[in-house]
Amino acid sequence: MVNDRQAPQSDYAAVGGAPAIASVVDLFYQRVLADPQLVGYFASTDLTRLKRHQVQLVSQVMGGPVSYEGPELAAAHAGREITEQDFGRVVEHLITSLHAHEVRKDIIDRVVEALATTRDDVVTH
């Protein structure tokens, strides 16, 4: 007997996979770097490396075949004095970037839920 049921599509596949996530991340960093409240956090950051890590992280969160290979989030954000308000602004920019790419609300909600679990590793002030 053949099983006609297909495995449910991952959020990663639903948004268009790697090219779509890379595009979301590019727009996200355009918004973050244009935000006077946030731009200072990135003054001495290797943005190419950071974007690569962000694509990996978002891909992993969305159930893609990619695993995040960057530093632990707590170590990467240590000493940066990131506030709750700044963390919220970053989340807002990601949500806006996902909306701009017409990502479904249920997928955005799952991404935001995953981000919420990283708050304690990122907010240090």
* Structure-token match 């992993």, residue found: 60
CATH topology of domain 16-122: Globin-like (1.10.490)
Residues 88-113, mean pLDDT to the nearest whole number: 97
Where do the domains of the chain lie?
A: 16-122
Share of the chain above pLDDT 90, in %: 77
Please report the pLDDT score of residue 3 as a whole number: 56
Share of the chain above pLDDT 70, in %: 94
The CA–CA distances, whole Å, from 100 to 13, 55, 93, 108, 112 equal 17, 17, 10, 12, 16
